[in-house]
A = this chain, B = another copy of it.
């Protein structure tokens, strides 16, 4: 008999999609396979829908998170999926599984976290379901909107497009290692400790860029949000767009080296390429489009090529860049993974 742990997350999704039929028909335009599903709600307007589940013990750990932070992050990961389609989130439903012995004040804190993020980005929580569960379980669905002419999928990257990323990549995974290894903030510096750990505990959806591009009248050719690490995500774009990529090590916006307590220590490059939970946007754009974008929030890190995903090292060598990142099923222990993706 075959078990779920033998299949791995991506095979599992493929297996289930085959059962439910991957073919979409109107009004649905995209089903499984992008950051969100897409359908045409009215002439020229698209809705994007994303669902994420968070399970106690797998996606968050009470030792690190306050309940408000759990609520915060649960909403952010969904809003980030909406941002990755270049869409604006409108409303959310929340399904909660709660142990009977769960303290009400923790539940309130969780809901304050959810609500704070939702209201910050103009999202209304319109309902959902509460039920009993052996561990805390949260499933959030967010619906967003975007004009048909502005939606950005994963499959739009073109030969010669530049590859860009927002913010700094790898800080969230570095922050998680600081927390897991109980690193001393006074050695690292309180400011740096706060910055890195908050990147893990309190991520921010990059809807500011969606707004900025809307006001500039431009948008990327392909986009994805970074939940499973930059290397993994560029592979997703290249596979969907049937192209290759080269990333330039010298251009990657990496965190400063920082003692996380790991032995041997993990390099900033490894954090940047294979860390998770950054919720930054990775996208491609032609030179023409890029010329019309503000570059203060984004970094050009590479170029779309015909095939293969490669890393151009500072040393001058060009090497293959494997997709790493986190698989929710094949890791032996959730605590051993390098990300806590939702």
With contact pairs A27-B90, A95-B139 given, residues A53 and B115 touching in the complex (Cβ less than 8 Å): no
Q: Does A291 contact B (CB under 8 A)?
A: no
Q: Does A185 contact B (CB under 8 A)?
A: no
Are B137 and A53 touching (Cβ within 8 A)? yes
With contact pairs A4-B98, A97-B55 given, residues A127 and B31 touching in the complex (Cβ less than 8 Å): yes
Please give, as numbers and ranges, the residues of chain B lying within 8 Å of A42 by CB-CB distance. 41-43, 45
Complex alpha-carbon distance, A6 and B342, angstroms: 30
Chain A 305-342, CB within 8 Å of chain B: the 1/0 string? 00000000000000000000000110000100000001
Chain A 116-155, CB within 8 Å of chain B: the 1/0 string? 0011000011111111111101010101000000000000
Q: Which residue of B lies closest to A32 (CB)?
A: B127
With both chains docked as a complex, state the minimum distance between the C-beta of A148 and any C-beta of chain B, in angstroms. 13
Please give, as numbers and ranges, the residues of chain B lying within 8 Å of A269 by CB-CB distance. none
Between-chain CB contacts (< 8 Å), 18 pairs: A2-B103, A4-B99, A4-B103, A12-B98, A12-B130, A16-B107, A19-B111, A20-B125, A32-B126, A36-B127, A37-B126, A39-B91, A49-B91, A49-B127, A57-B134, A59-B131, A129-B139, A129-B342
